[in-house]
């Protein structure tokens, strides 16, 4: 007899059973990633995160799971609902806490309903709504869904989408083969940026997480913190968590490094799925023309070509990525607002938002970097 349980951490879950539910090897819902954040101080109530995972078990066997969190704010989600919260609270309601199903701090499309069958996915969706109602919450949100998860949500859920910029491998044999598909201007600019980085005197390389030492992890984390401090944001990922990633995920963590006399002075951190490379964090102590693009984009593209990965997702936002070969790709979220009047108001607003975002896509594609824009996969 299967049973639904709610967990305030993943300590009691078998790691192998959890990971067996993830078909695409997405590292951001892996046991090591999610449990590591719980263990190493990345998810705290004063940051607005409280683990509230839903799992379905049959005896000792894990059948399905949804990584979920009680949120007392909307930070670290990247599907922005601040306007919804303000409107609901101006009307006298309490928008927070809410229930969120997502990978914390990670604007990365991936599986959110970890289950083998459509029927079981629908059970998880129903459980998310039931738990929201049981706790008297305003809403439940599921962010950055895969398209394969969308059929589990009925029409009562609000549909929302946005765009990210992704690179797709068209069977390129090497980086120059990729460049030949771009317009002449874009091809020239990329070669110039790569030349600027290569002539900087820095030692630039892609390094596997399993090869990075303790001292290097300290330098990498300091660079990550510096970037967040410069932007006035809070760096939630801790140094112990960075070390945990290298220890548990090994070569599924890749770091593009720029070294000066052996010391890492700039870096871009990546994670690897079965067919996708994910760009995450960047930091630098030096000002070098072209270095950001070399570490964050071009080494990643080379890595995908060499390892036959199909997609490179460098992170949220950034129209400048289009000039480097990345094209707008649709991302999906679903939202269930318990108050029906509020639901109606937001639903109407989303119609206008969708039209605006479709027009934005058309505008972007007028500036495609490709001589002949390839069809979306």
Confirm whether 315 is domain-assigned: no
Kindly state whether residues 90 and 144 are assigned to the same domain. yes
Kindly state whether residues 155 and 176 are assigned to the same domain. no
pLDDT at 330 over 50: yes
**Residue 212 DSSP code:** -
The values of phi and psi at residue 48, to 5°, are: 100, 10
Query: How far, in Å, CA of 12 to CA of 14, rounded?
Result: 7
The mean per-residue pLDDT over the stretch 161-187 comes to 97
Confirm whether 370 is domain-assigned: no
Kindly state whether residues 149 and 219 are assigned to the same domain. no
The mean per-residue pLDDT over the stretch 324-352 comes to 98
Kindly state whether residues 231 and 267 are assigned to the same domain. yes
Query: How far, in Å, CA of 268 to CA of 256, rounded?
Result: 5
Q: Percentages helix, strand, coil for the chain, rounded to the nearest 5?
A: 40, 25, 35
Confirm whether 346 is domain-assigned: yes
Half-sphere exposure of 373 (CA within 13 A, CB side): 14
In three-state secondary structure terms, 358 is: helix
pLDDT at 287 over 60: yes
Confidence of residue 317 (pLDDT cuts 50, 70, 90): confident
The mean per-residue pLDDT over the stretch 298-308 comes to 98
pLDDT at 273 over 60: yes
Confirm whether 372 is domain-assigned: no
Report the candidate in 278, 248, 236 with the shortest Cα–Cα distance to residue 144.
278
% the chain with pLDDT above 70: 99
Query: How far, in Å, CA of 191 to CA of 210, rounded?
Result: 31
- Report the number of distinct structural domains present in the chain: 2
pLDDT at 376 over 60: no
pLDDT for the residue 1: 80
pLDDT for the residue 377: 43
Q: What is the mean pLDDT of the chain?
A: 96
pLDDT for the residue 232: 74
> Using one digit for the tens of pLDDT, what is the confidence trace for 181-222?
999 999 999 999 999 999 999 999 999 999 999 999 999 999
In three-state secondary structure terms, 42 is: coil
Please classify residue 181 by burial: count the beta carbons closer than 10 Å to its beta carbon, then call 0-12 exposed, 13-18 middle and 19+ buried.
middle
pLDDT for the residue 56: 98
pLDDT at 280 over 70: yes
136 contacts: CB under 8 Å, gap ≥ 6: none
Residue 56 bridge partners (DSSP): 4, 64
Rounded to a whole number of angstroms, the CA Rg of the chain reads: 21
Kindly state whether residues 37 and 135 are assigned to the same domain. yes
Confirm whether 14 is domain-assigned: yes
Number of Cβ within a 10 Å radius of residue 339: 14
The values of phi and psi at residue 375, to 5°, are: -65, 150
**How far out from the chain centre does Cα 314 lie?**
9
Runs of H (alpha helix) within 136-238 = 175-179, 184-198, 214-230
Characterise 51 by phi-psi region: left (phi > 0), alpha (psi -120 to 50), beta (else).
beta
**Strands, DSSP E only, in the chain?**
3-7, 49-51, 53-58, 61-66, 68-71, 98-101, 139-145, 158-168, 203-208, 253-260, 263-272, 276-284, 311-313, 327-337
Kindly state whether residues 360 and 285 are assigned to the same domain. no
Kindly state whether residues 206 and 92 are assigned to the same domain. no
Kindly state whether residues 54 and 197 are assigned to the same domain. no
> Using one digit for the tens of pLDDT, what is the confidence trace for 84-133?
999 999 999 999 999 999 999 999 999 999 999 999 999 999 999 999 99
% the chain with pLDDT above 90: 94
Kindly state whether residues 22 and 103 are assigned to the same domain. yes
More confident residue, 221 or 317: 221
Give the burial string for 308-337 (b: 16+ CB within 10 Å, else e).
ebbbbbbbbeeeebbbbbbbbbebbbbbbb
Kindly state whether residues 105 and 202 are assigned to the same domain. no
pLDDT for the residue 170: 96
**Residue 16 sits in which domain range?**
3-163+328-365
Confirm whether 271 is domain-assigned: yes
341 contacts: CB under 8 Å, gap ≥ 6: none
pLDDT for the residue 373: 59
The mean per-residue pLDDT over the stretch 162-169 comes to 98
Confirm whether 228 is domain-assigned: yes
Kindly state whether residues 176 and 267 are assigned to the same domain. yes
pLDDT at 374 over 60: no
Kindly state whether residues 157 and 51 are assigned to the same domain. yes
Confirm whether 258 is domain-assigned: yes
CATH label of the domain that carries residue 147:
3.40.630.30
Largest CA distance in the chain: 65
């Amino acid at each position: 007899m299967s049973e639904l349980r709610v967990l305030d951490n993943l300590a009691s879950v078998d790691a192998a059973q959890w990971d067996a539910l993830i078909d695409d090897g997405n590292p951001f819902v892996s046991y090591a990633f999610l449990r590591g954040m719980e263990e190493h101080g990345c998810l705290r109530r004063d940051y607005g995160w409280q683990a509230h995972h839903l799992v379905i078990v049959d005896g000792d066997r894990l059948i399905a799971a949804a990584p979920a969190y009680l949120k007392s704010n909307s930070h670290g989600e990247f599907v922005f609902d601040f306007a919804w919260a303000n409107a609901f609270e101006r009307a006298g309601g309490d928008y927070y806490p809410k229930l969120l199903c997502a990978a914390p701090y990670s604007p990365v499309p991936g599986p959110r309903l970890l289950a083998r069958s459509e029927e079981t996915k629908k059970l998880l969706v129903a459980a998310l709504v039931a738990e929201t109602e049981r706790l008297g919450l305003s809403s439940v949100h599921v962010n950055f869904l895969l398209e394969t998860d969308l059929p589990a949500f009925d029409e009562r859920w609000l549909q929302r989408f946005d765009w990210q910029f992704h690179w797709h491998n068209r069977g390129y044999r090497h980086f120059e083969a990729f460049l030949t598909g771009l317009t002449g201007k874009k091809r020239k600019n990329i070669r110039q940026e790569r030349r600027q980085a290569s002539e900087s005197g820095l030692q630039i390389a892609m390094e596997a997480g399993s090869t990075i030492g303790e001292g290097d992890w300290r330098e990498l984390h300091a660079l990550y913190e510096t970037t967040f401090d410069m932007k006035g944001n809070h760096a939630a990922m801790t140094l112990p968590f960075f070390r945990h990633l290298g220890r548990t995920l090994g070569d599924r963590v890749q770091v593009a490094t720029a070294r000066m006399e052996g010391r890492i002075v700039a870096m871009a951190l990546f994670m690897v799925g079965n067919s996708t490379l994910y760009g995450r964090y960047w930091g630098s102590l030096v000002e070098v023309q072209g270095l950001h693009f070399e570490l964050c984009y071009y080494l990643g593209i080379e890595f995908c070509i060499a390892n036959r990965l199909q997609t490179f997702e460098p992170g949220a936002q950034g129209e400048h990525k289009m000039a480097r070969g990345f094209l707008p790709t649709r991302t999906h979220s679903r939202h269930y607002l318990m108050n029906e009047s509020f639901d109606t108001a937001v639903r109407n607003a989303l119609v206008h938002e969708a039209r605006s975002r479709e027009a934005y896509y058309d505008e972007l594609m007028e500036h495609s970097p490709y001589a002949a824009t390839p069809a979306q996969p």
